[in-house]
Amino acid sequence: FLHDELPIRLAHRVVELDSLPDNLNQMPSVLRVKRMYIDSFNELINFPKVSERIRDAVKEATVQGSTQRKHLSGNSQNPSLVDHSGSAAANGARSMSSHWIPSIQHRSYHYEVKPTELPVEVSEYNRSFVKTLEKIKRRHDPVVTTLAQGVVEYKQLLKTKTIDHPVQHFLDRFYLSRIGIRMLIGQQIELNQPQQHKDYVGVICTHTKLSDVVQEAIDNARFICGDYYMLMNTPEIELHCPRDLEFMYVPSHLHHMVFELLKNSLRAVVELYGDEAESYPPIKVVIAEGNEDITIKVSDEGGGIPRSAMEQVWTYMYTTAQTPMLDPEFDKSDFKAPLAGFGYGLPLSRLYARYFGGDLKLISMEGYGTDAYLHLSRLSDNEEPLA
The active-site residue out of 260, 284, 301, 375 is 260
Pairwise CA distance, residues 382 & 270, whole Å = 39
> Is 260 considered catalytic here?
yes
Regarding beta strands 200-201 and 204-209, do their DSSP bridges make them parallel or antiparallel, or are they unpaired? antiparallel
> Is 25 considered catalytic here?
no
Residue 202: CB partners within 8 Å, gap ≥ 6? 186, 187, 188, 190, 191
The DSSP call for residue 277 is -
Listed residue (115, 105, 108, 114) closest to 70, CA to CA:
108
Pairwise CA distance, residues 69 & 3, whole Å = 26
| CB-count burial class (<10 Å; 0-12, 13-18, 19+) for 171 | buried
Beta strands in the chain (DSSP E): 70-71, 109-110, 200-201, 204-209, 237-240, 246-249, 283-289, 293-300, 359-365, 369-377
The DSSP call for residue 342 is T
The active-site residue out of 263, 284, 301, 375 is 263
Does residue 214 contact residue 287 with C-beta atoms inside 8 Å? yes
The active-site residue out of 34, 140, 155, 256 is 256
CB contact burial 290-326 (16+ within 10 A = b; e otherwise): eeebbbbbbbbbbbbbeeeeeeebebbbbbeeeebeb
The active-site residue out of 140, 153, 155, 264 is 264
Residue 324: CB partners within 8 Å, gap ≥ 6? 338, 341, 342
Active site residues per annotation? 256, 260, 263-264
